[in-house]
Structure 1
Amino acid sequence: MLVAHPPSLFFHSTANRKPHTHSSNPQQPVLTMTKSSPCIIDCDPGIDDTLAILHAMGSPKVDVKAITLCYGNTNRDNVTKNLFTILHVLGKEVSSEHLATIPAGPNRDRLEHIRTKKPVIAVGADAPLVVEPAYGEDFHGPDGLGRLHLSDPDLAPSDWAEILGLLDPEGVGKELDKAAGDLPSEKLFTLSRKPAHDEILTQLAEAELNTVTIIALGPMTNLSLAYEKDPATFARVKQVICMGGCLNMAGNVTPVAEFNFHACPHSVHSILQATINEDPAKAIKLYMLPTDVTHQVSLESKTLKEYVTPLGTPLSKFSTLLLGYLFDLLVTKLHYTAMNLHDPLCIGFFIDLEHEADITQVDWHVEEHDIRIETEGRLTRGMLVVDRRIKSTKPAPGSHSRTQVVLKADPERYLASMLYDIWGVTNYNEHAKDV
Structure 2
Amino acid sequence: MGKKIIIDTDPGIDDILGLLLALSATPEEVEVLLISLTFGNIEVKNCLRNAVSMFHIIEREMQWRREKGRPEGFGALRAHRPIIAVGAENPLEDQKMLADYFHGTDGLGGIHASHPHLTPTEAWEHLFHTTIDHAGVPPATASDSERAFTPSKLPAYKEILRVLRDNELDSVTLVAVGPLTNLALAAAEDPETFLRVKEVVVMGGAINQPGNVTPMGEFNAYADAVAAARVFALTSPNPHTTVPPTKNGKLPPYPSKLSRQLTLRLFPLDITLRHNLSRGQFRKAITPLLASGSPLAEWVDAFMGHTFKTLERLHRGHEGDAAQLSMHDPVCVWYAITAEDPKWLPSENSPEDIRIDTLGQWTRGMCVIDRRNRHRIEGEEESSSDHGLWLSGSAGNRIWRMDGSPAEENFGEIIIQRLFS
Q: Give the structure 1 partner of residue 125 of structure 2.
A: 161
- Give the TM-score normalised by the residue count of structure 1: 0.80
What pairs up with 1:309-348 in 2 under 5 angstroms?
309-312=287-290, 313-335=294-316, 336=318, 337-348=323-334
Q: Give the structure 2 partner of residue 83 of structure 1.
A: 51
- Give the TM-score normalised by the residue count of structure 2: 0.83
> Is residue 2:277 matched to residue 1:286?
no
Q: Give the structure 2 partner of residue 15 of structure 1.
A: none
Query: How many residues are paired up?
Result: 374
Structure 1 residues 163 and 284 mapped into 2: Cα distance closer, same or farther (>3 Å)? Answer: same
Q: Out of 59, 66, 78, which is 2:25 matched to?
A: 59
Q: Give the structure 1 partner of residue 275 of structure 2.
A: 297
Q: Give the structure 2 partner of residue 239 of structure 1.
A: 199
Matched residue of 2:22: which SS? helix
Q: Out of 145, 149, 152, which is 2:115 matched to?
A: 152
Preserved contact between residue 121 and residue 191 of structure 1 (Cα < 8 Å): yes
Which stretch shows the higher mean deviation, 239-248 or 335-344? 335-344
Q: What is the rounded CA distance, in whole Å, between the counterparts of 2:207 and 2:409 in structure 1? A: 23
Q: Which runs of 5+ in 1 are unaligned?
A: 1-34, 176-183, 425-435
Measured after TM superposition, the shift of residue 185 of structure 1 is 9.0
Q: Out of 413, 416, 419, which is 1:419 matched to?
A: 416
Preserved contact between residue 92 and residue 185 of structure 1 (Cα < 8 Å): no
Q: What is the rounded CA distance, in whole Å, between the counterparts of 1:116 and 1:156 in structure 2? A: 25
Measured after TM superposition, the shift of residue 154 of structure 1 is 4.3
* Letter in structure 2 aligned against 1:383: M
Preserved contact between residue 55 and residue 418 of structure 1 (Cα < 8 Å): yes
Measured after TM superposition, the shift of residue 168 of structure 1 is 5.5
Measured after TM superposition, the shift of residue 377 of structure 1 is 0.8
Q: Give the structure 1 partner of residue 386 of structure 2.
A: 395
Q: What is the rounded CA distance, in whole Å, between the counterparts of 2:216 and 2:13 in structure 1? A: 23
* Letter in structure 2 aligned against 1:163: L
Q: Give the structure 2 partner of residue 369 of structure 1.
A: 352
Which stretch shows the higher mean deviation, 267-276 or 394-403? 394-403
Q: Out of 71, 85, 93, which is 2:39 matched to?
A: 71
Q: Out of 401, 404, 407, which is 2:400 matched to?
A: 404
Measured after TM superposition, the shift of residue 348 of structure 1 is 1.3
* Letter in structure 2 aligned against 1:149: H
Q: Give the structure 2 partner of residue 226 of structure 1.
A: 186
CA deviation map 1:181-240 (0-9, x unaligned): xxx898311011110000000000000110000000000000000001001101100000
What pairs up with 1:79-228 in 2 under 5 angstroms?
79-95=47-63, 98-103=65-70, 108=71, 110-158=73-121, 159-164=123-128, 165=130, 166-167=132-133, 172=138, 187-228=147-188
CA deviation map 1:245-295 (0-9, x unaligned): 000011000011000000000111111110114445242100000000000
Q: Give the structure 2 partner of residue 6 of structure 1.
A: none
Which stretch shows the higher mean deviation, 275-284 or 335-344? 275-284
Preserved contact between residue 93 and residue 224 of structure 2 (Cα < 8 Å): yes
Preserved contact between residue 347 and residue 400 of structure 2 (Cα < 8 Å): no
Preserved contact between residue 153 and residue 173 of structure 1 (Cα < 8 Å): no
> Is residue 2:256 matched to residue 1:259?
no
* Letter in structure 1 aligned against 2:23: M
Q: Which runs of 4+ in 1 moved over 6 A?
A: none
Structure 1 residues 168 and 43 mapped into 2: Cα distance closer, same or farther (>3 Å)? Answer: closer
Q: Out of 257, 268, 276, which is 2:236 matched to?
A: 276
Q: What is the rounded CA distance, in whole Å, between the counterparts of 2:232 and 2:75 in structure 1? A: 39
Measured after TM superposition, the shift of residue 62 of structure 1 is 1.6
Q: What is the rounded CA distance, in whole Å, between the counterparts of 1:171 and 1:280 in structure 2? A: 42
Measured after TM superposition, the shift of residue 144 of structure 1 is 1.1
Q: Give the structure 2 partner of residue 359 of structure 1.
A: 343
Matched residue of 2:112: which SS? helix
Matched residue of 1:45: which SS? coil
Q: What is the rounded CA distance, in whole Å, between the counterparts of 1:238 and 1:74 in structure 2? A: 29
Q: Give the structure 1 partner of residue 381 of structure 2.
A: none
Preserved contact between residue 94 and residue 112 of structure 1 (Cα < 8 Å): no
Matched residue of 2:373: which SS? coil
Q: What is the rounded CA distance, in whole Å, between the counterparts of 1:77 and 1:169 in structure 2? A: 9
Q: Give the structure 1 partner of residue 363 of structure 2.
A: 380
Q: What is the rounded CA distance, in whole Å, between the counterparts of 2:217 and 2:266 in structure 1? A: 14
Measured after TM superposition, the shift of residue 160 of structure 1 is 4.1
Preserved contact between residue 179 and residue 221 of structure 2 (Cα < 8 Å): yes
Matched residue of 1:254: which SS? coil
Q: Tell me the C-alpha RMSD between the 2 structures.
A: 2.4
Q: What is the rounded CA distance, in whole Å, between the counterparts of 2:73 and 2:146 in structure 1? A: 15
CA deviation map 1:325-374 (0-9, x unaligned): 00011112323111110000001111221x43x235xx776632110111
Structure 1 residues 373 and 167 mapped into 2: Cα distance closer, same or farther (>3 Å)? Answer: closer
Q: Give the structure 1 partner of residue 8 of structure 2.
A: 42
Q: Which runs of 5+ in 2 are unaligned?
A: 239-256, 376-383, 390-394
Q: What is the rounded CA distance, in whole Å, between the counterparts of 1:282 and 1:379 in structure 2? A: 34
Q: What is the rounded CA distance, in whole Å, between the counterparts of 1:115 and 1:280 in structure 2? A: 38
Measured after TM superposition, the shift of residue 72 of structure 1 is 0.3
Q: What is the rounded CA distance, in whole Å, between the counterparts of 1:72 and 1:192 in structure 2? A: 20
CA deviation map 1:283-321 (0-9, x unaligned): 210000000000001110111110123223111111111
